[in-house]
Structure 1
Amino acid sequence: MLKQFFILCSGADTDILNDCSVGEQNKYAGIGATVFFTAVMATIAASYALFTVFDNLYSSVFFGLIWGLLIFNLDRYIVSTIKKRDNILDEILQATPRIMLAVIIAVVISKPLELKIFEKEINQVLLEQKNELTLANQNQIAEQFNPKISELENEIVSLQSQIDTKETEVNALYDTYISEAEGTAGTKLLGKGPVYKEKREKHDAALIDLQNLKTENKAKMASLEAEIAMLQDNYKTSVSDSQPIIDNFDGLMARVNALSKLPWLPSFFIFLLFLAIETSPIIAKLLSPKGEFDFRLEDQETTVKTWTMQKVAERKLLLKTDNDINNRVYNDIADEEEVINFKRKKARELMQLQADAFFKNQKNAL
């Protein structure tokens, strides 16, 4: 049962192969087994590749089965259409396009399995890339907010500088009127005289201005700090909103690119393995000698070809003979008086009908 299934997978004519030897049947069963297991590997590879895209097991398996059936049909077609010939060069030329197609199929099959085999190494590369993208994303977003935040911080510094300057001025006035009272500066008269009173009033006025300035500037500074806090919150929100995009940076294309960052030799050997599997049925047919099945198939094909050519030749000969007979018949009756008189009579009747029709048309026109 299993042997018949693999023979069916090989694409060989079972009616012919059933009359061949057991060894010939085993050869094609082996070719069919290669075709079948290549399709199984293609199904697994495609399912994994699609799972990285859809992230859904059932959808991935469904489309993976479709892809596996497609590869199975292609391989079966490739193997079944290669026929043994008496000239090895003709066989190689016949197989060249099919080998090229097999190489393409091998690349498509091997790549998803490489992604699965080197999954841990690829995850490490993706992690490094995600970290780089996260830092770059934060810097890019910060470039949108930092200029405004720096401008607001400079305004706060400027407002605080105004307060500090005013405080320095008030402190200086305070020292002046105290020194006047102590007699260590100014008039150098001990006691609270008119000069002291004048300087004290000047200090008190400056102190009131300082208090008003502090009230105004602190209100402005509070507003600016609130605006800075809002900008910082917007920055954090933008970073958190964009971070899931970076976290999901592990799709099929990202993994293929990450695979290219790894050493090429292991991937190349895996590709060679699948290339050997994919081309093995073709190579086996090219290297194997012409067997019993090939002779029987050639006999059947040449029989049909010869019979078809015979029927075509007979039809051509029949057509030529019929044309020759018709030509002779018409040539023989062309000179008979009875035929000529009959044609003359019909021609006269036709001319009369034409004359009558012309007369009626002219009469209706008048």
Structure 2
Amino acid sequence: MKNESYSPSQEREYYKLPQSGSVMRFLWKCAGGDRYLLERATYSDQIKYMCLGGIVFATGAMAGLAGGYAFYTIFEPHGSAIENPIHYPTVFLALIFGIIWGLMIYNIDRFIVTSTGKGDGTEAITVGELKSALPRILMGIIIAMTISKPVEIRMFKTEIDIKLREKQLEQQAQYQAKVDKTYSDREKLLENEFGSIANDRTKLIERIKVAEQAYTDNLMGKANGIGAGNGPLSKALKSQLDNLEKQLEDFDRQNGKDLIELNKRKDALRVAKENERGNNEKIANGLDGLLERIKIAHEVSGFWISLFITLLFMAIELTPIFFKLMLTKTTYDYLAENRDELLKADYGIEVKYDYYKDKDGIERHLTINHEAERIIFEKRMVTNIQKELTKYAVTKYKEREMKKIDDDLGGYIKSIDQDE
């Protein structure tokens, strides 16, 4: 009887399978489906695996977007949360990272989906099925959480930016107060280091200012009961003012070196203080990071909204796993089983299902590799034959040597002595 090859486009009298498009075949590949079998299964099987692949592809795409945004948030130049222009070099690097991250999550999801079986082949999910799928479920939960957080901070970006700017200003004010206090304490320590020179000079300057004001008031007639003019009192006040100024000159002359050093170090402190004030905004803007934005996102959205977003991504991520556990066996599964059995038969592999029980009483399959056993048998037989031939050759050699001895014992002994 002549065998005819089957074409997927071949029409049956009872069923006509629609042609698959390129998008559908791509999504089959995302779900780990076998195109050869799906094109020979039912349309419902094709739709199931297309939807499954769509979820896997969408998860990878969302992971890529979330990873790229997280990368940009971490490595962008930090500044004001409100006025923060786009940094295009970081955008370019974020795109590269997002593509790599998305492909990595896509392959992990693809592995999770393809390695998840159909359980017992019924719609019910049993405890045993959940236990076997638990590692994949935990991996899916971790992936969902890594995707949800960057998406969450992007959803509430406006509210986060406002709240973050408030924190930056608060941080700036706190840092400024610390800088002022630190340098004020340093200036006091500096003055203490030079003893009472600075205090004595300050007091002397204050006395000069008071005397100068009194002399000016007297000349202008502002003093009570005294007319304007350069009278005896004015001359006395002028003499007192000149005396105080002379004392200041003598004081500066006696303590000139110390005063110069003191003023020099004070100026250095003021310059350092101004430099710290200049770094104030830069340090406050450094508060603009991924962790801080996640914290603010939780404050802005609240516990329940944040939990809802995370659960939504968990549902998307875990749907393919539970979906496969709930699938019943269909034409595609029977075709896959038939394919596996044919491949085993082709390579000489025999599996006897539930053939024996182990020490825990669990039924195990017995796998027989006929091709390997055949090769082993051939090797064993060839080895045995070689042993028999070697044994026969040794026996014949012994008989020949014994005949030489019987025919000519003396000559045999001489030949041995010559060999030695």
Matches within 5 A, 1:290-301: 290-301=329-340
Specify the alignment match of 1:243 in structure 2: 281
| In structure 2, distance between residues paired with 1:11 and 1:158 | 89
Specify the alignment match of 2:370 in structure 1: 310
Match 1:14 to one of 35, 38, 53: 35
| In structure 1, distance between residues paired with 2:415 and 2:96 | 77
Q: Which amino acid aligns with 1:253?
A: L
Specify the alignment match of 1:64 in structure 2: 98
| In structure 2, distance between residues paired with 1:50 and 1:350 | 91
RMSD across aligned positions (CA): 3.9
Q: CA deviation at 1:98?
A: 1.6
Q: CA deviation at 1:32?
A: 0.5
For 1:151-184, what per-residue CA distance to the aligned partner results, in whole angstroms no more than 9, with x for missing partners? 6598554324346779999xxxxxxxxxxxxxxx
Q: Is 1:9–1:32's contact at 8 Å kept on the other side of the alignment? A: yes
Matches within 5 A, 1:73-112: 73-86=107-120, 91-112=129-150
CA gap 1:349/1:320 in 2 versus in 1, 3 angstroms: farther
Q: Which amino acid aligns with 1:34?
A: I
CA gap 1:168/1:80 in 2 versus in 1, 3 angstroms: closer
- Structure 2: gaps (5+ residues): 1-20, 77-89, 212-236, 350-368, 405-411
Q: CA deviation at 1:210?
A: 2.9
| In structure 2, distance between residues paired with 1:90 and 1:326 | 54
Q: CA deviation at 1:287?
A: 0.7
Q: CA deviation at 1:115?
A: 1.3
Report SS of the residue matched to 1:249.
coil
* Higher helix content, 1 or 2: 1
| In structure 2, distance between residues paired with 1:53 and 1:17 | 44
- Count of aligned residue pairs for this structure pair: 320
For 1:310-348, what per-residue CA distance to the aligned partner results, in whole angstroms no more than 9, with x for missing partners? 2123223333433444444455x2774x32155789x99
| In structure 2, distance between residues paired with 1:12 and 1:18 | 10
Report SS of the residue matched to 1:83.
coil
Q: Is 2:119–2:325's contact at 8 Å kept on the other side of the alignment? A: no
Q: Is 2:172–2:280's contact at 8 Å kept on the other side of the alignment? A: no
Identity of aligned residues (%): 26
Q: TM-score, normalised by structure 2?
A: 0.65
Matched, 1:252 2:311: no
Q: Is 1:160–1:217's contact at 8 Å kept on the other side of the alignment? A: no
| In structure 1, distance between residues paired with 2:281 and 2:54 | 48
CA gap 1:11/1:325 in 2 versus in 1, 3 angstroms: same
Q: Is 2:208–2:245's contact at 8 Å kept on the other side of the alignment? A: no
For 1:12-41, what per-residue CA distance to the aligned partner results, in whole angstroms no more than 9, with x for missing partners? 111111110111111000100111111111
Specify the alignment match of 1:3 in structure 2: 24
Matched, 1:24 2:45: yes
| In structure 2, distance between residues paired with 1:349 and 1:244 | 108
Q: TM-score, normalised by structure 1?
A: 0.73
Q: Which moved more, 1:318-327 or 1:61-70?
A: 318-327
Matched, 1:319 2:340: no
| In structure 2, distance between residues paired with 1:92 and 1:316 | 42
CA gap 1:16/1:342 in 2 versus in 1, 3 angstroms: farther
Match 1:275 to one of 306, 311, 314: 314
| In structure 1, distance between residues paired with 2:309 and 2:416 | 91
| In structure 1, distance between residues paired with 2:279 and 2:394 | 103
| In structure 1, distance between residues paired with 2:342 and 2:70 | 48
Larger Rg: 1
Q: CA deviation at 1:284?
A: 0.5
| In structure 1, distance between residues paired with 2:210 and 2:148 | 79
Q: Is 2:204–2:244's contact at 8 Å kept on the other side of the alignment? A: no
